[in-house]
Amino acid sequence: MPHKFSIDRARGLLRPAEYIASPNRDPRPAGEAPSMIVIHGISLPPGEFGGDHITALFTNTLDFDAHPYFREIRGLEVSAHVLIRRDGSVIQYVPFNERAWHAGESCFRGRHRCNDFSIGIELEGEDQTPYEERQYAVLAGIIEAIRTAYPAISARECAAHSDIAPGRKTDPGPAFDWLRLYDSLESGSRRT
């Protein structure tokens, strides 16, 4: 069953969610509103969950000497709109009405620069490890809130990072169960 969320459209903020502002953001192009959702998977260091490394990365405060892998991503300036932790808790880093730096070089249905028109949702996880049931429930609730606030986004405008950056990205990977997400979205729509 999806969790209940809402969006303050004026501020672009998700309720309830912890808000930690990322500097890695900028205005969307003039007249551009969110029209798709990109689902990502992230773990820092790779394959490890918990801790504050993801938030540190998204806020440019990561100690690049704390783990050998971090040296490989030194200087990377990235963010997402929202992170769903393994325990189902939610952190928002960028308001939905601003552009988060999550997609990189990307294309969706012939439209390039997906950051311009997308909302990036990160799931704490990695390609080969099953995501948690509570993450699917929270994700479905957030997507329902996004679709209410931004009616141009339908379930068909929801893509994997690997779909918009094939050959460059693999997340959220084969461990992500799209049918489980779609079933949650359908059951939520039937209740409203």
- The residue extents of the domains of the chain are 6-191
Class of domain 6-191: alpha beta
Is residue 122 annotated as part of the catalytic site, yes or no? yes
Identify whether the C-beta of residue 23 lies closer than 8 Å to the C-beta of residue 109.
no
List, for residues 93-107, the tens digit of each pLDDT value: 999 999 999 999 999
- pLDDT for 137 beyond 50: yes
Q: What is the pLDDT of residue 192?
A: 47
Q: Which long-range contacts (CB under 8 A, 24 or more apart) does 73-82 make?
A: 77/23, 77/24, 77/101, 78/24, 78/102, 79/22, 79/24, 79/25, 79/120, 80/40, 80/42, 80/120, 80/121, 80/122, 81/119, 81/120, 81/121, 82/14, 82/17, 82/119, 82/120, 82/121, 82/122, 82/142
Cis amide leading into 2 (omega within 30): no
Q: What is the pLDDT of residue 3?
A: 78
pTM confidence score: 0.95
List, for residues 34-70, the tens digit of each pLDDT value: 999 999 999 999 999 999 999 999 999 999 999 999 9
Cis amide leading into 16 (omega within 30): yes
User: 18, 48, 72, 122: which one is catalytic?
Assistant: 122
CB atoms within 10 A of CB 6: 14
Q: Express as a percent the part of the chain with pLDDT over 70.
A: 96
List, for residues 67-87, the tens digit of each pLDDT value: 999 999 999 999 999 999 999
pLDDT, mean of residues 10-15: 97
